[in-house]
Amino acid sequence: MRVLVLNGSPKKGNSDTIKMTKAFLEGMKDKGEQDITIIDVIDKHIEFCNGCFNCMLNGGNCIHDDDMREILERILESDLLIWSFPLYCYGMPAPLKNLLDRTLPLSSLAMQKVNGRYEHVAQSDFSHLRYIMICGCGFPNSKMNFEPAVRQFELCFPCNHTIITVPESPMFSAKEADIVTLPKLEEIRRAGREYAEKQMVSPSLIDEIKKPMILEEQYAAIVNGSVGK
């Protein structure tokens, strides 16, 4: 499978979330060879969309001549896009959202009603693409936290998507937390193996993965105890 990972964490290789994504990729590789490319989005020159709609009216040609041209080509050549990002203010970090905005050239201005809502008609063929969101966050709770990012992902990619969310993810960068993070990474590796085999992850495993690694009160106490030290 040709896999393109869009690493939306500005921490690049030190990202808590990319550790989970790498575990998922290892699981996929257990089941066969994968052609994997990781893009650190923060390193790319991507101008903001200025909303001119030139791309939608002119066969996909964006007025900006920047790294997004190559990224769009890579997206279309891929089978699977993994959006790996930390939750920032209940959404995705701004550089990754900027990249998402700049995928507008893949669609035309024409709109159609599908399952009760409107979406743009494609002007490039991306019907083969599958999508995974892997998202970590700093709070121990998933409810009242991940919902906006999850909903945005579901609406942007209504078909062929898999969503993995993990709370308390700064623990992935704390050696002392290995006792709980290593089993969590193993669950995520298992999810990668399942995905490589079935192009989906069972809902029970996704539910298991989204459980906090330690009690939320304990996690909050540890974080609060370390503040100012």
Ligand X SMILES: Cc1cc2nc3c(=O)[nH]c(=O)nc-3n(C[C@H](O)[C@H](O)[C@H](O)COP(=O)(O)O)c2cc1C
Residue 138 binds to ligand X (criterion: CB under 6 A): yes
Sorted by sequence, the CB contacts under 8 Å of residue 12 that are 6+ apart come out as 18, 40, 42, 43
- The pair of structure tokens assigned to 31 is 């089941």
Our CB check for ligand X shows the closer of 27 and 86 to be 86
Q: Among 120, 125, 126, 99, which residue's Cα sits nearest to residue 108? A: 120
Minimum CB separation of residue 186 from ligand X in Å reads 19
Q: With contacts defined by CB under 6 A, name the span among 14-22, 37-45, 125-133, 156-164 that binds ligand X.
A: 14-22
Residue 170 binds to ligand X (criterion: CB under 6 A): yes
Residue 60 binds to ligand X (criterion: CB under 6 A): no
**How many whole angstroms separate alpha carbon 50 and alpha carbon 52?**
6
Residue 24 binds to ligand X (criterion: CB under 6 A): no
- The pair of structure tokens assigned to 215 is 């009690």
Our CB check for ligand X shows the closer of 107 and 172 to be 172
Find the binder of ligand X among 24, 83, 88, 219 (CB under 6 A). 88
How many residues touch ligand X (CB under 6 A)?
17
Find the binder of ligand X among 34, 58, 145, 160 (CB under 6 A). 145
Minimum CB separation of residue 93 from ligand X in Å reads 7
Looking at the chain, list the stretches that DSSP marks H as alpha helix, in order from N- to C-terminal side: 16-30, 54-57, 68-77, 94-101, 147-156, 178-198, 203-209, 216-226
Find the binder of ligand X among 89, 144, 159, 179 (CB under 6 A). 89
Our CB check for ligand X shows the closer of 98 and 169 to be 169
Sorted by sequence, the CB contacts under 8 Å of residue 108 that are 6+ apart come out as 56, 120, 121, 122, 123
Sheet with strand 80-86: strands edge to edge: 35-40, 2-7, 80-86, 130-136, 161-166
Minimum CB separation of residue 183 from ligand X in Å reads 18
**Binding region for ligand X (CB under 6 A):** 9, 11, 15-17, 86-90, 136-139, 145, 169-170
